A and B are shown apart, each in its own frame.
Chain A
Amino acid sequence: MSSKVYITGMGMISAIGNNVAESFHSLETMQSGIGELKYVRSRHKPLVPVGEVKKSTEELMEMAGLNPDNLTTRTSLLGLIAAQEAVKSAGIKDIKEYRTGIISATSVGGMDMTENHWLDYLNEEKSGPWLKYIETHECGDSTEFIADNLGIKDFLSTISTACSSAANAIMFGARLIKHGKLDRVIVGGTDAMSRFTINGFMTLMILDSENCKPFDSQRRGLNLGEGAGYIVLESEKAAKGKVIHAELSGYGNSNDAYHQTASSPDGAGAFMAMEKAFKISGLKPSDIDYINAHGTGTEINDLSEGTAIDRIFEKNVPSISSTKAYTGHTLAACAGIEAIFSILAIKHNIVFPNLNYKHPMTALSFKPTTTLERGKKIDHVLSNSFGFGGNTSALIFSRHH
């Protein structure tokens, strides 16, 4: 049993950088990674700016130190690269030294590869090495791939609850540590860009044809992104003598129970998830120094989330921003990536700006931070992530003393 859950390592890859240091540099220099679709073939290319990782799948293979004839998916590769960095940054030399697990979130799974061959699979006369991608299609395969490459054997799990998936992976990991089931656990998520996703979000008409503008009254929708983000959670025992980046002090999950994809107008689910996170952490809303919002840039999310935030903070909202205009919405990975942004905010006492914001929403009491804010002490950060299916999650990261 461990009453505290410490974060000792971080690793990520996204449109704004191939590791934590590069990503932090992009955040500080206010450089967005959103641009023209390059690595996925799509009829919608001119209409959908996206946040792609700036590497081909072959280049990713090399980065991960794998043989190029290794047949694997982009989702798995992004996940492995980020998880490798997380393990390394936590100074883990021997993965077997403690009971170690991995909980990885994904919604795309191996679809980025199988969608290229799906018609071939139906043709019995065709054959090729791509047949092997069938085995990589399911969500759990990416987790097994990462675990095998890192030598993790004690515990593996895959969570798929749409865009809140990685937050739920982090929450689940924290529980395993608190209950003494594991000493350390690598938690986060990975998702690659795919035609399946682009076409689906097109039908929902919630993709902005320009760069997304979270919390702006003229927002038109989200930009899709891809990437992976993992953090290493350790118990008090395992983290002894190590550099501790932050503590995971609170977490909460709820269901909005309103609509398959749309959030409720009053943000009931979001409110309850934040309320639970506060209860576990023992903190009050006024203790929060920065909110890394889910802030996708869709008409419905930003209004619903903003309304819930106004309610729980009683209109005294601290510095708040959505970083989706940097990375795009990385779906099941976003809460992993944004956990790292939250921890970086604490480490560097910095608030990252909400890019592309111009026009305030009349329904909300607050305006997001639009410039890089330095010098204010950031001790507690709230990070929200909400998914289709009404799945709403909130995490609180706190400075370790």
Chain B
Amino acid sequence: MDALIEQLKGEIIKQLNLEDLKPADIDSDAALFGGGLGLDSIDALELIVLLEKNYGIKVSNPADGKKIFQSVRTMAEYISANKK
């Protein structure tokens, strides 16, 4: 899980163009949205693209994103449970 979390941080930075951040700047358990990263609804959609592109997981209702993207850890857990 920890390896996946670290990998995800790198992927999130790349997908969301967070150029001024390093993986270490993102806390695995901190809120992805509404926190210090300044992410918005478009970023949530962009993370849905990331799930499909990198892990083959399709999320068709954007509202599901709220739960999945609580933190990097919840995102990693969702990926391990649903990965094809």
Contact = CB atoms under 8 A, between A and B. Distances in A.
A205 B45 contact: yes
Interface residues of B, number: 7
Interface in A28-71: none
A259 B49 contact: no
Interface of A: 203-205, 259-262
B49 A203 contact: yes
B35 interface: no
B42 interface: yes
Contact of A259 (B40, B45, B48): B40
Contacts of B54: none
Q: For the complex, would chain B's binding face be called helix, strand, loop or mixed by DSSP majority?
A: helix
B11 to A, nearest CB: 18
B56 to A, nearest CB: 17
Contacts of B48: 205
Contacts of A205: 45, 48, 62
B41 interface: yes
Contacts, number: 13
Nearest to A209: B60
B42 A261 contact: yes
Nearest to B62: A205
13 contacts: A203-B45, A203-B49, A204-B42, A204-B45, A205-B45, A205-B48, A205-B62, A259-B40, A259-B41, A260-B42, A261-B41, A261-B42, A262-B41
Interface centre among A203, A204, A205, A259 (most CB of B within 10 A): A205
A261 B41 CA distance: 9
A294 to B, nearest CB: 19
